[in-house]
Amino acid sequence: MKGTRRFDPRPKIILLAAGAVFFFLPLRLEVLGAGLMLLLVPGGLVLKTRLLRVLSSILPILILVALLTPFFYRQGTPIWQMGETVVLTLRGLEETGRLLIRFTGITAVFALFYLTTPAERFLSALEWYGLPFRAALVMSLTLRFIPSLFTLYQRVEDAHSLRRAGELADRNGFFRRFRNLLPTLTSVLIQAVKKIGPLSMSLELQGVGLSSRRTRFVRLPRFRDVAFQFLLVLLILSLLVTVLVIFPQLWYNGAS
């Protein structure tokens, strides 16, 4: 785990983009499956149950895809016919496999990235790629405000439930629950909006908007210190592209 966190987020972003694109390429099912395995096996070894937890969250949608997709394809070699009507074809099964691998692959690529990259390093990497300072500032301040706003929500909810304990005893029904939530949300929003003034003043006092050079809390290593990691990533990607260009039989030709 430590090793994956030491891997610089800047070349990791290139891998993330390449991984997401790979699963959309019209390749043969076996090639996509091998790509998925290359992600899941080392990923599973490093992240263990954390990756499994992410993948289990997409299980309902995978089941839905497996049940619905095969019947959308009538072309190709029939496998199951009811009278004259073709119900299931080989093409339908192949497309289902493709969609299952694609969705699992994209989920795994993003999960591997976010589970091994701390948010502040990710933001610094985005800044390195050209994300404006103000956008990065908004994102990092938001990450700091989320826990405080959630605590505020809990306090307001507690205060409201103390005031109307009898009313809230009967909380059944979606609309009643929804209606009961509105006074709490109103109070939370007013308290949240009231924070805008002090936050704005504090930003101004800290010199946000001035032309002077900003200091950084998180500093990424110099490019030359991680050049080897960039080189490694580019080498892997070039190798992959070369293999896909040299062997056209790896591409899906649509015949089944």
Partner 1 sequence: MSSSENSPKDREARSRNTTRIASLVIMTAVTAVFTFMIRIPIAPTRGYLNLGDVAIFFSALIFGPWTALISGGLGTALADIVSGYSQWAPLTFFAHGLQGLAAGILFHRIAGPEARLGQRRTTTGLVLAFLAGTVIMAGLYFAAGAFMFGPGAALVEVPGNILQNVAGIVAGTLLWSAVKRAYPPVTRYRW
Nearest approach in angstroms of CB 185 to partner 1 is 6
The span from the CA of 147 to the CA of 155, in Å, is 12
The answer to the question of residue 223 lying near partner 1 (CB under 8 A) is no
The residues, ordered by sequence, that sit 6+ positions from 75 with a Cβ below 8 Å of its Cβ are: 89, 91
DSSP-derived secondary structure letter, 87: E
The answer to the question of residue 248 lying near partner 1 (CB under 8 A) is no
The answer to the question of residue 215 lying near partner 1 (CB under 8 A) is no
The span from the CA of 245 to the CA of 242, in Å, is 5
Task: Give the per-residue contact string, 70-109, with partner 1 (x = CB under 8 A; - = no).
Answer: -xx----------------------xx--xx-xx--xx-x
CB count within 10 Å of CB 83 equals: 6
Nearest approach in angstroms of CB 186 to partner 1 is 5
Q: Could you tell me the CA-to-CA distances from 248 to 93, 218, 245 in Å, in that order?
A: 23, 45, 6
The answer to the question of residue 169 lying near partner 1 (CB under 8 A) is no
CB-nearer residue toward partner 1: 129 or 178 = 178
Q: Could you tell me the CA-to-CA distances from 97 to 78, 102, 149, 211 in Å, in that order?
A: 17, 8, 43, 54
Task: Give the per-residue contact string, 17-56, with partner 1 (x = CB under 8 A; - = no).
Answer: ------------------------------------xx--
CA 149, 152, 154, 158: dihedral to nearest 10 degrees?
-160
Per CB under 8 A, residues contacting partner 1 are 53-54, 57, 61, 64-65, 68-69, 71-72, 95-96, 99-100, 102-103, 106-107, 109-111, 113-114, 134, 137-139, 141-143, 145-146, 148-150, 153, 174, 177-178, 181-182, 185-186, 188-190, 192-197, 199-201, 203-204, 207-212
